Amino acid sequence: MVYELIIGLEIHIHAKTKSKMFCRCDAKYFSAPPNSHVCPVCLGLPGALPVPNKKAIEQCIKLSLALGCNINKFSKFDRKNYFYPDLPKGYQISQYDLPFGYEGNVEIESTAGTKSIRITRVHMEEDTGKSIHSGAKTMLDFNKSGVPLVEVVTEPDFREIKDVTFFAKRLRQTVKYIGVSDADMEKGQMRFEVNMSLRKVGEAALPKYKVEVKNIGSISVLEKVIAYELKRQSELLDKGETPVQETRGLRDLTGVTHSQRIKEESNDYRYFPEPDIPPITFTDEQIFANRETMCELPTDKKARYMKDCGLDSALAETLIATKGRAEWFEQAIEGVTDNKVVSQIAKWFVGDVIAFMNANKVKLAQLKLSHEMLRELVELLNLGKISSTIAKQILPEMLETGKKASVIVKEKGLEVVNDEGAINEIVKKVIAANPKVLEDMKKNPAAYKFLIGQVMKEMQGKANPQVVDKAILEALQEK
Ligand SMILES: [Zn+2]
C-alpha cells in the first residue's frame, strides 16, 4: 500500500546570548571543563531565584516575527515538571499556554510549487544539563543547564521528506541571518524532533497515532529517520497493525530508531505558572522595534534577486546561502543598473569565485578580490577588451594576488587583438589547415564555427570572437 507522510517538527535552537536564560553564568559552555559554568540558579539549588534574560526573549520574539507569528502581548513562564538526573530542579522553566509567538506561517518551495507550513508556536525555555554515561557510571555536567532555548513547533503540514529538508535548511539559515543563533549543529545548537505518522493516500483525517523521534542532531540524520520510520510504519500498517504511539530514540547516525517510552500527554507534566517570574508584557512599540531592526530574510532576498535582478531561482538560492555571501554580491553590483551585467557578476561570483574559495578554503573576509575588481573584470569583457577565455584565465591570478584585471592584462599583453590584418592572417592559416570545412558547410552552414575556436587557440584567446567570426565568413566567401 502507498501511504502519505504526516510530519510535524519541533526544533530546539540555542539562542545566542552572553549569559544563560535565568542566571549570569556564561552561556558559551562548549568544550569548557565540566561544571565550570554553574551557579545556584542553574544547579537548581533551593532558594535560588531565576531572572529572565532580556536578550534571549528578544531573540525569541525576533524569530517568531521572522516565522510570521503573532506575538502574545501578555505572556508568562511555566514549570514543566518531570524528573531526570540532568534536571536538578525537578522541573524545566518553559512556556505552556501563552508562548511568545503563535500561529505563524512559512512558505517553502515544494515539488508542486510554493507550500505553506503553519507554525504552531515559538516559545522560550531553558536547556537541561548533560548526562555522560561511562560504563556503570553516569556523570553529570551542568554547563548546558539553563542555556536559553527557543523552541519552534510546526503543524503536521509536511507530506514529503524533501519539504522537511527544505524547511530545516531555511530555518537554520534564517536564525543565522537574523543573529538569533549560530545554529552550529555539531555543537548541538540546533536539534530536531520529528512527529510522524502515515495515512492511506486519499484519506483526509489525521491518523490515530503519532510516533515521536527526539534529539536528531543533523539534517541528514533527520532525513534518514523519516525514511526509516516510513518503512517501519508502512510494514506495520500493511499487516493491519497500528504503530504504537511512543517516543523513539536513535542509537547512532544511521536513522534506525528504537522504542524508548510510551508518549506522555501534556497533563503528565503538571504545568503551572512559574511563581518566581512575573508575567511579561510587550507594547506594540517594542514588537515593532524588533521587526524594524531585523535584516532582510533569506526568502525575501531571494524573491528580490529574482524579481529585481532577473536572476533564476538556482542562482539566487546560491547567492543567499549565507548572509555574508549575499552582502558580498550586493556590494559587487552596487551602482550597476543593467540586469545583464548584474547577472554576469552573479555568475562569475557563484561560479569561479566561490569555487576558488571552496578549493582553497578561503573565507569571504580573506578574499583578495574586491567588489570593484570583479566589476572591472566584467566591464572589460563587455567592452570587448578581453575575451571570456582570458577572463577565466586571469581570475585565479586576481584571486591569488589581489591584482586588478586591467593590470594583469597590461603586464601580460593579454588585450584582445582587434587588428584585422593580424586576425586575417591566422584565419587564412586555419582555413588552409582545414580544407574540409567548405564541404561540411553545405550540410551544416554553422560548421565553420569550429574554426573560431581554432583561431582563438592560435591567438591564445586574445582575439575578439566577433571579429574572428566575421573574418572567417569573409575569407570563406572569397573561396
Ligand atoms: Zn548559573
Given its phi and psi angles, is residue 43 left (phi above 0), alpha (psi -120 to 50 degrees) or beta? Answer: alpha
Higher pLDDT: 75 or 427? It is: 75
Task: Give residue 218 CA to ligand 1 midpoint distance, Å.
Answer: 28
Please give the pLDDT value at position 479: 67
Predicted confidence at residue 186, as pLDDT, reads 93
Instruction: State the distance from the centre of ligand 1 to the C-alpha of 444, rounded, in angstroms.
Output: 79
Using the mean position of ligand 1's atoms as its centre, give its distance from the Cα of residue 36 in Å. 10
Could you tell me the distance, in angstroms and rounded to a whole number, from the CA of residue 92 to the centre of ligand 1?
14
Ligand 1 geometric centre to CA of 24 (Å): 6
Region 141-165: what's the mean pLDDT?
97
Instruction: Choose the weakest-confidence range: 50-64, 150-164, 384-398.
Output: 384-398
Residue range 38-57, pLDDT digits in tens: 999 999 999 999 999 999 99
**Can you give the pLDDT at residue 264?**
63
How much distance in Å is there from the Cα of 40 to the middle of ligand 1?
A: 6
Ligand 1: centre distance to CA 25 (Å): 4
What pLDDT score does 265 carry?
Answer: 67
pLDDT surpassing 70 at residue 260: yes
pLDDT reading at 322 higher than 80? yes
Tell the burial category of 68 from Cβ atoms under 10 Å away from its Cβ (0-12, 13-18, 19+): middle
Question: Mean per-residue pLDDT for 146-156?
Answer: 98
| In the predicted structure, residue 417 carries a pLDDT above the cut 80 | no
pLDDT, tens digit, for every residue of 207-232?
Answer: 999 999 999 999 999 999 999 999 99
Instruction: State the distance from the centre of ligand 1 to the C-alpha of 130, rounded, in angstroms.
Output: 14
Residue 409: its pLDDT value, please?
87
Q: With 90 as the cut, is the pLDDT of residue 242 above it? A: yes
Q: Which residue has the higher pLDDT, 88 or 389?
A: 88
Mean pLDDT score of the chain: 92
Share of the chain above pLDDT 70, in %: 99
pLDDT score at 422 = 82
Q: How far is the CA of 15 from the centre of ligand 1 (A)?
A: 16
Which residue matches cell numbers 520529528?
A: 194
Which residues contact residue 116 at a Cβ distance below 8 angstroms, ignoring those fewer than 6 apart? 105, 106, 107, 108, 157
Q: What is the pLDDT of residues 275-319, one digit of tens each?
A: 999 999 999 999 999 999 999 999 999 999 999 999 999 999 999
Q: What is the pLDDT of residue 304?
A: 96
Q: Is the model's pLDDT at 419 over the cut of 80?
A: no
What residues are neighbours of ligand 1 (ion), with CB under 5 Å?
Answer: 23, 25, 39, 41-42
Which grid cell is 393? 584565465
| Residue 470 pLDDT class (50, 70, 90 cuts) | confident
Higher pLDDT, 385 or 140: 140
* Distance from residue 289's CA to the centre of ligand 1 (Å): 29
- What whole-number distance in Å separates Cα of residue 192 and Cα of residue 158? 14
Domains of the chain in sequence order: 3-290 (no CATH), 296-412 (no CATH), 420-478 (1.10.10)
Residues 124-140: tens digit of each pLDDT: 999 999 999 889 999 99
3 state SS for 308-377:
HHCCCHHHHHHHCCCHHHHHHHHHHCCCCCCHHHHHHHHHHHHHHHHHHHHHHCCCHHHCCCCHHHHHHH
Å from CA of 400 to ligand 1 middle: 47
CA of 188 to the centre of ligand 1 (A): 19
CA distance 164 to 193: 12
| Span 245-273, average pLDDT | 84
Q: Using the mean position of ligand 1's atoms as its centre, give its distance from the Cα of residue 74 in Å.
A: 27
User: What pLDDT does residue 469 have?
Assistant: 86
CB of 242 within 8 A of CB of 209?
yes
Q: Name which of 164, 147, 142, 8 is nearest 87 in CA terms.
A: 142
Ligand 1 centre to CA of 44 (Å) is 9
- Residues 98-102: what's their mean pLDDT? 98
Residue 350 pLDDT grade (very low, low, confident, very high; cuts 50, 70, 90): very high
Task: Match 554547563 to its residue by C-alpha cell.
Answer: 143
Q: How far is the CA of 19 from the centre of ligand 1 (A)?
A: 8
Mean pLDDT of 62-84: 96
Ligand 1 centroid–CA 146 distance in Å is 7
Q: Kindly report the pTM of this predicted structure.
A: 0.88
In the reported structure, the alpha carbon of residue 56 is separated from the centroid of ligand 1 by a whole-number distance in angstroms of: 15
CA of 50 to the centre of ligand 1 (A): 9
- Residue 452's pLDDT is what? 86
Q: Are 192 and 222 in contact (CB under 8 A)?
A: yes
Question: Helices 388-401 and 405-412: crossing angle, nearest 10°?
Answer: 110
Residue 277 alpha carbon to ligand 1 centre in Å: 16
* 439 Cα: distance to centroid of ligand 1 (angstroms): 85
Please tell me the distance between residue 16's alpha carbon and the centre of ligand 1 in angstroms. Answer: 16
